[in-house]
Amino acid sequence: METKVNYSVVGAFVLVLGAVLIASVLWLASGGAFQKKFDLYLAVEDESVAGLNLNAPIKYNGVDVGKVQQIALDSGSPERVNLIFAIERGTPIKEDTVAVLKTQGLTGIAYVELSGGTVDSLPLRIKAGDRYPVIPTKPSLSARLENVLTSVLAKLDSTSNNINALLSDENRAAFTSTLADIATVARTIAARKDAIDAGMLNAARTLENSSRASAQLGPVIDRIGRGAVAVEKMGNEVAITSASAGKTANSIGADVKRFTAETLPELERLLGELSVLSTSLRRLTEQTERDPAGLLFGRKSVPEGPGETPTGAMQP
């Protein structure tokens, strides 16, 4: 008996089996069950990223941890470049981790070096409003060298301009005139060499005499110092005497105040009574002088004058 074979089914089975085998090989070639997972991070560079290409390596302290997935200009600020990093999941990217562009060897191939990440630092998280966690960046060595060279060149240019201004025609003429004056002064000094030598000898003698006078002034200064000490001692004694005199004056002042408050009113009353008594004595003396008999017989009545009558008398 002949067995019937469905060739279409066999062909379809072979095709499906081949496709499964090819997919399995590709899956295994790409890593299969051991394929690594990556997290995306954003880094913003303020310098040129010339030499940095897509899939450029990203290293963390020299260890490959990912690749550069995207390079694009910032739409809001064309001077900035946005870099998207695909970094292996589990890499300790922390808040103090920074990214720096570096070049590898003499070929000049650029890559990204990550550094930092202390133990106490927190893991880097996505901030509100951002799409990816943002890794801070630092200027690369070439950028720092460029800034330094630019600053040095600017200073050299300024120095060159100052030197050119200093060496202008007017300054050169003035410098030449100054050199001529210096030469004239030098010749004058050479011509008066003997006089200068004599002056220096006199100055040396003067200094010697001054040193001798200073040596002689030493005992005088000592005596002045002792005199100052004696004057200071005398001043202290005078101060003590003044303090004693002040106490005595204070006690006398208290006695004077007491005398003024208690004795003066009594004296004023006594003087008033003496004044009244003297007035009475003076009147008595004057009356005795006018009528000495009145002192014994009393005062006589004064006779009535012409036309005077006793008060209250009746006329006939």
Instruction: Dump strand ranges (E) for 78-130.
Output: 81-88, 98-104, 109-115
Nearest to 68 by CA among 129, 29, 105, 113: 113
pLDDT at position 315:
44
Kindly give the pairing relationship between strand 57-60 and strand 109-115.
parallel
Contact 90, 75 (CB under 8 A): no
pLDDT at position 58:
92
pLDDT, averaged in runs of 10, over the chain (316 residues): 65 85 78 71 88 89 90 88 91 90 76 87 88 90 82 86 79 83 87 82 81 70 73 74 65 63 70 76 70 55 56 44
pLDDT at position 314:
45
pLDDT at position 309:
53
Helix (H) / strand (E) containing 84: strand 81-88
| Tally of CB atoms within 10 A around 71 | 15
pLDDT at position 133:
92
Contact 232, 239 (CB under 8 A): no
Separation of alpha carbons 232 and 239, rounded Å: 10
